[in-house]
Amino acid sequence: MNSKTPDLPRPLRRPRRLRRSAAIRGLVRETRLTPDRLVLPIFLIDGENRDEPIDAMPGRSRLSIDNAINECRRAIELGVCAFDVFQATDASLKTPEGKEALNPQNLTCRAVRAIKKALPQACCITDIALDPYSSMGHDGLISPTGVVLNDETVDILAKMAVLHAEAGADIVSPSDMMDGRVRAIRTALDAAGHQDVAILSYTAKYASAFYGPFREALDSAPVDLPNVPKDKKTYQMDPANTREASIEARLDVEEGADILMVKPGLPYLDVIARLRAETDLPIAAYHVSGEYAMIKAAGKMGWLDEDACMRESLTAIARAGADVIFTYAALDYAQWWHESSA
Q: Are the CB atoms for 141 and 152 separated by under 8 Å?
A: yes
pLDDT of residue 33: 96
Q: Are the CB atoms for 237 and 257 separated by under 8 Å?
A: no
pLDDT of residue 12: 83
Cβ atoms < 10 Å from Cβ of 159: 16
Residue 2 pLDDT > 70: no
Residue 232 pLDDT > 70: yes
Q: For 315, how many CA atoms within 13 A lie in the half-sphere containing its CB?
A: 12
Residue 76 pLDDT > 60: yes
Query: Is 263 part of the annotated catalytic residue set?
Result: yes
Determine which one of 94, 205, 232, 296 is catalytic: 205
Is beta strand 198-205 parallel, antiparallel or unpaired with respect to 61-63? Answer: unpaired
How much is the pTM? 0.94
pLDDT tens string 176-194: 999 999 999 999 999 999 9
Domain residue limits, the chain: 33-341
CATH code of the domain made up of 33-341 = 3.20.20.70
Residue 218 pLDDT > 90: no
pLDDT tens string 109-157: 999 999 999 999 999 999 999 999 999 999 999 999 999 999 999 999 9
pLDDT of residue 221: 79
pLDDT of residue 10: 86
Collect all residues with Cβ–Cβ distance below 8 Å to 183 and sequence separation of at least 6: 254, 255, 256
| Secondary structure element (H or E) that encloses residue 188, with its range | helix 181-191
* 3-state secondary structure at position 60: coil
Name the more confident of 12 and 168. Answer: 168
pLDDT of residue 193: 98
Determine which one of 4, 99, 230, 263 is catalytic: 263
Average pLDDT of every residue of the chain: 94
Q: Are the CB atoms for 203 and 245 separated by under 8 Å?
A: yes
pLDDT of residue 81: 96
pLDDT of residue 231: 92
Query: Is 99 part of the annotated catalytic residue set?
Result: no
174 vs 165: CA distance, rounded Å: 13
What percent of the chain stands above pLDDT 90?
86
